[in-house]
Structure 1
Amino acid sequence: MTTVRTRSRVHVLALGGTIAMTSPGEGHGVRPALNARSLIDGVPGLADVAEVGFDAVRPVPGAHLRLGDIQAVAARAGELLADGADGVVVVQGTDTLEETAFALDLLCASDRPVVVTGAMRNPGMPGADGPANLLAAVRVAASEAAAGVGTVVVMNDEIHAARFARKGHTTRPSAFGGAGVGPIGWIAEDRVRVPLRPARRVRLVPHGGAEPPPVALVTVALGDDGRVLARLAGLGYAGVVLAAFGAGHVPDALVDEAARLTESMPVVLTSRTGAGEGLRATYAFPGSETDLLSRGLIGGGALDPYKARVLLSLALAAGWDRRRIADAIERLSA
Structure 2
Amino acid sequence: MGVSIVTTGGTIASRPAPDGAVRVAVRGPELAVPGAAVRVHEMMLTHSFNLTRAEVLRLARRILAELRDPGVDGVVVTHGTDTMEETAYLVDLVLPPPCTVVFTGAQRHAGAPDADGPRNLADAVAVAAAPQARGMGALITMAGQVHAARYATKAHTLRPEAFASPGHGPVARVRDGRVEVGSPPTRTDGFRIDELGELEARVDVVPVYLDADGVQIAACRAAGARGLVLQALGTGNPTPGVLREIGACLREGIAVLVASRCAEGPATPVYGAGGGADLARAGAVFAGSLSAPRARLLLMAALAAEGGPEKALERIRPHLLP
TM-score range (shorter-chain normalised) is over 0.9
The 2-side partners of 1:16 and 1:101 are apart by 15
C-alpha offsets along residues 112-132 of structure 1, whole Å, 9 cap, x if unaligned? 211111111001123111001
Give the Cα–Cα distance (whole angstroms) in 1 for the partners of residues 248 and 17 of structure 2: 52
| In structure 2, distance between residues paired with 1:110 and 1:78 | 11
TM superposition shift of 1:211: 3.9
Q: Work out which of the residue numbers 33, 39, 53 in structure 2 matches 1:67.
A: 53
Matched, 1:24 2:17: yes
- 1:255 aligns with one of 225, 229, 243: 243
Deviation at 1:331, TM superposition (A): 3.3
Match for residue 254 of structure 2?
Answer: 265
Q: Which residue of 2 aligns with 1:221?
A: 209
1:32 touches 1:61 (CA, 8 Å); kept in 2?
yes
Q: What corresponds to 1:236 in structure 2?
A: 224
Distance 1:251 1:74 in 2: 38
Report the CA distance between 1:20 and its aligned residue.
0.4
After superposition, the C-alpha distances for 1:61-94 in whole angstroms (9 at most, x for unaligned) are: 1001122222211211111111111000111111
Q: More displaced, 13-22 or 200-209?
A: 200-209
Residue of 77, 83, 86 corresponding to 2:63:
77
Q: Aligned equivalents of 1:175 and 1:24: distance in 2? A: 24
Backbone CA RMSD of aligned residues: 1.7
Q: How far apart in 2 are the matches of 1:231 and 1:324?
A: 23
- Contact 1:112/1:146, CA 8 A, preserved across alignment: no
Identical aligned residues as a percent: 35
**Which residue does 2:197 correspond to in 1?**
209
TM-score by length of 2: 0.93
CA contact (8 A) 2:100 2:138 kept: yes
For 1:257-285, what per-residue CA distance to the aligned partner results, in whole angstroms no more than 9, with x for missing partners? 101101321011110113211123x3222
Q: Which residue of 1 aligns with 2:133?
A: 146
Partner of residue 274 from structure 1, selected from 249, 260, 263 = 263
Secondary structure at the aligned position of 2:41 is classed as strand
Q: Residue type of the partner of 1:245?
A: L
Q: Which has the higher contact order (CA 8 A, sep 6+)?
A: 1
2:304 matches 1:312: no
The alpha-carbon deviation at position 326 of structure 1 amounts to 4.7
Paired residues for 1:12-161 under 5 Å:
12-25=5-18, 27-40=19-32, 43=33, 46-47=34-35, 50-84=36-70, 85-161=72-148
Asked if 1 retains the 8 angstrom alpha-carbon contact of 2:74 and 2:99, the reply is yes
- Cα deviation digits, residues 275-321 of structure 1 (max 9, x gap): 211123x32221x1211011011111110101101111122122254
CA distance in 2, matches of 1:95, 1:156: 16
Matched letter for residue 9 of structure 1: G
Match of 2:273 among 285, 310, 313: 285
Distance 1:329 1:303, change over 3 A: farther
SS in 2 for 1:57: strand
Describe the superposition over 1:234-275 as per-residue Cα deviations: whole angstroms up to 9, x where unpaired: 202221100000110011122121011013210111101132
**2:255·2:313 contact (CA, 8 Å) conserved in 1?**
no
The letter for the 1-side match of 2:224 is G
Take 1:326 and 1:65, find their aligned partners in 2: how far apart are those partners? 29
Residue pair 2:208, 2:242 contacting (<8 A) in 1 also: no
Please give the TM-score of this superposition, normalised by the length of structure 1.
0.90
Deviation digits for residues 154-205 of structure 1 (CA, Å, limit 9, x no counterpart): 1111110001000011111012111211101101112111221122323113
Find the aligned partners of 2:302 and 2:45 in 1 and give their Cα distance. 27
Deviation at 1:28, TM superposition (A): 2.4
1:299–1:326 CA contact under 8 A, matched in 2: no
Q: For the structure 1 residues 216 and 51, does the alpha-carbon distance in structure 2 shift closer, same or farther, using more than 3 Å as the test?
A: closer
Unaligned 5+ segments in structure 2 are none
Q: Distance in 2 between matches of 1:208 and 1:326?
A: 16
